[in-house]
Structure 1
Amino acid sequence: MLLYPVPRPMVKGIWRPPNHGIIKLNFDASFIKEERVATTAVLARNAIGEIVGAENYLFKDVADAFVTEARACERTLIFASTMCFR
């Protein structure tokens, strides 16, 4: 199965770095209703914007977009624990 990105309008967002000594975690999720498949991604950055960790996950047999977002949040917490972020 191939997953293709869905074009989205560009949003002018400003990434704000965390305070010194803090790691900022961002996550996102994508859900394909017809195939009941979801992907999630986690990105960790330090105060100067360097990527200090990243992971992505594939979930099968997912009920809906709400479950997808919940699983993305769950995976972010697991990722933070695995990376020993406190």
Structure 2
Amino acid sequence: MKDKKSRKIKALVFLSVTKDKLVDIGIEVAKIKYAKRVYEVLGNYDLVMFTEVSSREELGEVINTVSTLEGVKFISTFILTEKIK
């Protein structure tokens, strides 16, 4: 079993963005240091970013960076707790 201190925090950050900035924001989000994967999605959100960080402070940095990009209307962050499959 891994030491809790060495465990990574994994999260999904869902972004709602202005349609005219979708591609540009996707490119900018993909450049973020802790962005592991970025997807364009259909539904209530426009983009989803998977991130993996070592601390809550790093997650806060990611959230701050994403939420302040021009054209981002709002975000929702979900911390992953248990992998089922």
For the superposition of Structure 1 and Structure 2, which TM-score range results when normalised by the shorter chain? Answer: 0.3 to 0.5
Bigger relative CO (Cα 8 Å, ≥ 6 apart): 2
Q: TM-score, normalised by structure 1?
A: 0.33
Q: Which has more helix, going by share of residues?
A: 2
Q: TM-score, normalised by structure 2?
A: 0.33
